[in-house]
Structures are given as C-alpha cells and as structure tokens.
C-alpha cells in the first residue's frame, strides 16, 4: 500500500515543479522583454533630446565683444588718394594671422595737437574708422594696454602709417587728440600690406569732406549697388519666455485696442505688437536702483557695453551681423547689419534695424530695465529679385544738400546703410535698399528725407540767418544742443 502512495506523491511534486518552472520561464521572458524595451528607450532619450537641440531652427547668435566692435570702415591712403577697402576680408586676415592684439599702447596720456595730427593724416596710411567713439578696453582684440592704470580715453580711428616706423596712432578725430602706440612683434607691416593688396581690385576711391567737427569719406564717382530681397521669419515669442521670466508663473493678457498682447508678472513683462511684430521687455524694480543722469555717467562705457551685451545675447537671433551703434545715458543701441552695412527702417516703420537696451544698476552690477527689438529676421535670400540702385557720389550729395539749403557741417555723421522697405507682403518678404543716411544728434535721416525737404523743414527755425551779423543759427543752436558737455559730445557722433 505504501509504494503506490509514494509514486503519487512524487508525480504530484514533479507536476507542480514543471508548472512552476514553466511559469518562471514565461514570466522571465516577459520581464526580460520589458527590461529590453525600457533599456532601449533610456538609451534613445538623450539622443532624441540632443537631436532636438542641434536641429533647432532658431538659434541665438551669441555675439562676442569683438563681433560688435568691428570697424565701420577701413581706408587706405595711397599716394595722396583715399580708397575704401572691404573690411571683412582685412579683419579676417588679421585674425587668421595672429591670435592676440597687434597693437601695443606706448602710454596712456593723450596728446591734443591738431597740427601734428593733421601731419599724420597727410601721410600714406591704413585707417580703421569706428562709427562712434570707443573706450580702449572695448577694442582689446586689437589693442593691448599694459599700463597699470587702465585708460578710458575714447577713440574713433586707428591710424597705421605705411612707413617702416611701426607707429600707430589711436585717434579721437573730434577733439583732435591721440595716443601713441606701435605694432607689436606678432605682425609684420608687410603682412598687413599684403592683406590690402590682395583686394586692391575692389578698392573704391573716396574724397574727404568736413562735417560737424570731423570728416567723412564719400565716393568720388557714382556707384551702383544691388537691393537685397529676403524672405522673412518670425522668431517665436515662446523662445523668450525663459530669459524673461526665469521659470516664474506669469499671466497672459489678450490683445488690447492697439493689438498688443502681454505676458507679465509683478516685476516682468513681455509685450508683443501684432501689427508690427515688435517686442518690448521690461523689468520693474526699486526706483533707487535706477541711476540718475549724473550717476549713470559714473559707469564707464566699457561696463555699459559689456553689461548690456550679456543681457542682449539671449535675445539676439539676427545672424547677419550685429554691432554696437550708440549710447545715450543708460540706453545702448545695437544695430543689425547686412553685408557690412547697418540697417535702418523706412520713416513710417518702427526701427526694425535696432535693438535698444536700457539698463539699471545696483552698484556697478547692470540688469535689464527695458529692451525693444523686432521679432522679424531674414530667411532665404531671393537673389533674382534684386535690382541695381544708384548710390550718390560725394559731389552729388553736396549738390543735394545745397539744393535744400543744407551743408555738410550741419551733420555729425554720414554713412551708407540699408533701408528696410514698407512693403512686406504680410511679413513674408522684405526689400532692403542701399541709401545714404545723415545723423544730427540722435536723429537719423535718409537721403530721401533730405531731398523731400523733411530735414530743412524740421530745422527751418534754425536755418534763419541773423540779420546784420551773418551768423547761421543752425550751427549755433544745434551746437548748443549737441555739445552740452564732453560726455554728451562723445555720444552725439553715432
């Protein structure tokens, strides 16, 4: 009786063991499959995220200090004649040749000597011209200052004589003052000469004209330059949410009567004008942190510019060229560039070429007060729609000014730029036309506004000549407005 009993027990055990092993086999395969899927997904996740970052269509330009401080013009005086040289090729050659500043400062005490400066300018030389006066520390990619006390002397020209002296003159051409420097051993004068000679076929002969306390170079003959046609892209506003609000919750306001929408918190706001695609960012704060005019003047130009650059980097999606243009109190204006030329807007448009940044300070620490810029950037170049445009010569500009009872000495700067046209096909395409622009104080006018009488009409009361003494009130009154003090003089030339 016992034998059959033990067989039954063994059979039951074997059956149960078989079921159990089968279960574990099936279950282990399911777990293994699940594990495999999880493992594969975990491996793919960072690759997908990386791909998204790398393939993002809109990427911030992240301009560096050397990018925004490029010269406005590079000139060469050769056998007594002036020639304009394409700056991008020269600067690229210099930066490819040496990786450190090529100019060494000899001292930090400027000389005020108009006669000697005039003699220097009469010699054949290379000349780097900046659109506004700049403190030397802002040009650290070209100039090394080894002195113990850093100078805040501002210059708007660098003159390198073509002789073998290796001297360099860092010039404030408005106040007729300069610092002496020299080319260091990192570059040969022949290397610089070769860079200019390589593009000699593209040199454009220029004549020098006297403007308000300075000079400009304008073409000797009429030039033809093509208009530029581009499709337009709009940078998505959500890209700016994080830089503005830094993770804080915000409210959204629907468009008002002016078609302006806003995202806002108690301290920050981001406003979008849907009629123009202009964006304004503002940060509120304690009024005691906002400097008065006298307090803001205590902040050096170097700290003004570098502080604003760190802020504006996160908002800059223009990749065609972006440069410092001017400063006024605690407001810094950066300007968009295309093909080495600044962009201005048609008088009836918002200034699509400018990024305007106002700063506030806690001690010397800069923070954003207000930023205004366009969300529109250039997309595809439509080259077959470009048309040749006439660019006036210096003599023609003189004739246009005379016909409108104006003269060169009434302007702080004359420069060639692109004008952003009104017709944009519902923000799908834009035409940029090369034109001359004229600066009076902080106002900028196109040559068309000279021709149609806008400028002479606006300043008509200042163009009246005093009876009996022949004094031109434009010169007298405008100078009293433009040249209030030395710092204001520095700002007026833009």
pLDDT at 140 over 80: yes
Q: What is the pLDDT of residue 121?
A: 95
Dist CA 226 CA 387 (whole Å): 5
Q: What is the pLDDT of residue 6?
A: 65
Q: Provide the strand spans (E) within 392-481.
A: 413-420, 429-440, 443-446
Higher-pLDDT residue of 91 and 119 is: 119
Q: DSSP character for 466?
A: P
385-390 own/partner pairs: CB under 8 Å, 24+ apart: 385/229, 385/431, 386/226, 386/227, 386/228, 386/229, 387/226, 387/227, 388/224, 388/225, 388/226, 388/227, 389/224, 389/225, 389/226, 389/227, 389/433, 389/434, 389/435, 390/222, 390/223, 390/224
Q: DSSP character for 419?
A: E
Dist CA 446 CA 455 (whole Å): 10
What average pLDDT is seen over the chain?
A: 83
Q: What is the pLDDT of residue 220?
A: 98
Quick: pLDDT tens for 278-310.
999 999 864 444 444 444 456 789 999 999 999
Tokens 């850093």: give the residue. Answer: 150
Produce one character per residue of 33-44: b if its CB has 16 or more CB atoms within 10 Å, e if not: eeeeeeeeeeee
Share of the chain above pLDDT 90, in %: 65
Higher-pLDDT residue of 7 and 405 is: 405
Quick: pLDDT tens for 314-329.
999 999 999 999 999 8
Task: Using alpha carbons, select from 267, 154, 222 the residue that is nearest to residue 399.
Answer: 222
Task: Give the length of the chain.
Answer: 494
Quick: pLDDT tens for 389-403.
999 999 999 999 999
Q: State the pTM of this model.
A: 0.80
Q: What is the pLDDT of residue 96?
A: 82
What region does 202 belong to: left with phi over 0, alpha with psi -120 to 50, or beta? Answer: alpha
Higher-pLDDT residue of 214 and 494 is: 214
Considering only the C-alpha atoms of the chain, give the largest distance between any 2 of them, rounded to a whole number of Å.
149
Tokens 């952003």: give the residue. Answer: 420
Q: Is 471 helix (H, G, I), strand (E, B) or coil?
A: coil
Q: What is the mean pLDDT of residues 41-64?
A: 53
Q: What is the pLDDT of residue 245?
A: 94
Higher-pLDDT residue of 236 and 31 is: 236
Band of the pLDDT at 478, cuts 50, 70, 90?
very low
Q: What is the pLDDT of residue 289?
A: 47
Strands 278-283 and 228-234: unpaired
Band of the pLDDT at 336, cuts 50, 70, 90?
very high
Q: What is the pLDDT of residue 185?
A: 86
Q: Which residues, listed in sequence order, are joined to residue 437 by a DSSP beta bridge?
A: 415, 446
Contact 129, 156 (CB under 8 A): yes
Dist CA 404 CA 454 (whole Å): 10
Residue 155 CB coordination number (10 Å): 24
Quick: pLDDT tens for 3-44.
456 667 667 677 776 765 565 555 544 444 434 444 434 333
Higher-pLDDT residue of 484 and 382 is: 382
Q: What is the pLDDT of residue 286?
A: 47
> Phi and psi (nearest 5°) for 456?
-65, -35
Q: What is the pLDDT of residue 13?
A: 73
Q: What is the mean pLDDT of residues 379-384?
A: 95
Q: Is 74 helix (H, G, I), strand (E, B) or coil?
A: strand
Q: What is the pLDDT of residue 146?
A: 78
Q: What is the pLDDT of residue 21?
A: 58
DSSP readout, 201-216? GG-EEEEEEEETTEEE
Q: What is the pLDDT of residue 56?
A: 56
Band of the pLDDT at 458, cuts 50, 70, 90?
confident
Quick: pLDDT tens for 352-370.
999 999 999 877 778 899 9
Contact 442, 326 (CB under 8 A): yes
> Angle CA(175)–CA(179)–CA(180) in degrees, nearest 5?
145
Q: DSSP character for 493?
A: -
Band of the pLDDT at 149, cuts 50, 70, 90?
low
Q: What is the mean pLDDT of residues 446-459?
A: 94
Quick: pLDDT tens for 151-207.
789 999 999 999 989 999 999 999 999 999 999 888 888 888 999 999 999 999 999
Q: What is the pLDDT of residue 132?
A: 95
Contact 102, 183 (CB under 8 A): yes
Dist CA 443 CA 485 (whole Å): 18
* Angle between helical axes of 189-198 and 87-97 (0-180°, round to 10): 140
Domains and CATH numbers, the chain: 65-202 (no CATH), 224-228+381-492 (no CATH), 229-380 (3.30.310.160)
């Amino acid at each position: 009786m016992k034998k059959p009993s033990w067989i039954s027990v063994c059979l039951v055990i074997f059956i149960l063991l078989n079921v159990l092993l089968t279960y574990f086999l099936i279950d282990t395969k399911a777990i293994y499959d699940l594990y495999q899927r999880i493992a594969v997904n975990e491996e793919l996740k960072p690759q997908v995220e990386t791909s998204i970052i790398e393939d993002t269509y809109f990427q911030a330009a992240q301009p560096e200090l050397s990018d925004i401080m490029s010269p406005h013009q590079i000139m060469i005086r050769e056998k007594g004649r002036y020639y304009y040289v394409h700056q991008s090729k020269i600067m690229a050659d210099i930066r490819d040749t040496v990786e450190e500043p090529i100019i060494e400062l000899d001292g930090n005490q400027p000389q005020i000597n108009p006669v000697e400066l005039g003699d220097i300018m009469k010699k054949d030389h290379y000349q780097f011209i900046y659109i506004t006066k700049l403190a030397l520390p802002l040009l650290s990619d070209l100039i090394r200052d080894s002195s113990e006390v850093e100078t805040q002397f501002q210059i708007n020209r660098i003159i390198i004589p073509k002789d073998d002296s290796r001297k360099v003159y860092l010039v404030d051409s408005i106040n007729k003052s300069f610092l002496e420097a020299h080319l260091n051993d990192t570059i040969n004068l022949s290397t610089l000469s070769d860079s200019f000679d390589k593009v000699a076929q593209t040199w454009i002969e220029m004549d020098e004209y006297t403007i308000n306390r300075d000079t400009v170079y304008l073409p000797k003959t009429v030039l033809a330059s093509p208009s530029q046609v581009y499709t337009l892209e709009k940078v998505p506003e959500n890209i700016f949410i994080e830089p503005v609000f830094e993770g804080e919750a915000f409210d959204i306001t629907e468009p008002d009567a002016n078609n302006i929408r806003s995202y806002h918190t108690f301290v920050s706001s981001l406003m979008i004008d849907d009629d123009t695609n202009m964006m304004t960012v503002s940060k509120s704060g304690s009024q005691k942190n906002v400097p008065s005019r006298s307090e803001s003047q205590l902040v050096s130009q170097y700290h003004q510019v570098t502080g604003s650059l760190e802020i504006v980097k996160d908002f800059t999606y223009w990749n065609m060229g972006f440069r410092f243009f001017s400063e006024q109190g605690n407001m810094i204006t950066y300007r968009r560039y295309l093909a080495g030329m600044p962009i201005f807007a048609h008088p009836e448009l918002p200034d699509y070429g400018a990024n305007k940044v106002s700063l506030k300070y806690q001690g010397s620490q800069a923070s954003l007060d207000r930023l205004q810029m366009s969300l529109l950037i250039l997309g595809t170049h439509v080259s077959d729609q470009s048309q040749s445009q006439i660019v006036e010569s210096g003599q023609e500009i003189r004739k246009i000014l005379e016909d409108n009872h104006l003269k060169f000495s009434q302007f702080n700067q004359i420069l060639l730029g692109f004008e952003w046209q009104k017709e944009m096909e519902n923000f799908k395409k834009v035409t940029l036309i090369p034109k001359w622009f004229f600066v009076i104080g902080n106002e900028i006018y196109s040559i068309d506004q000279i021709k149609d009488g806008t400028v002479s009409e606006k300043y008509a009361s200042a163009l009246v000549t005093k009876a009996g003494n022949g004094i031109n009130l434009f010169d007298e009154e405008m100078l009293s407005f433009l040249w209030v003090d030395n710092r204001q003089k520095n700002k007026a030339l833009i």
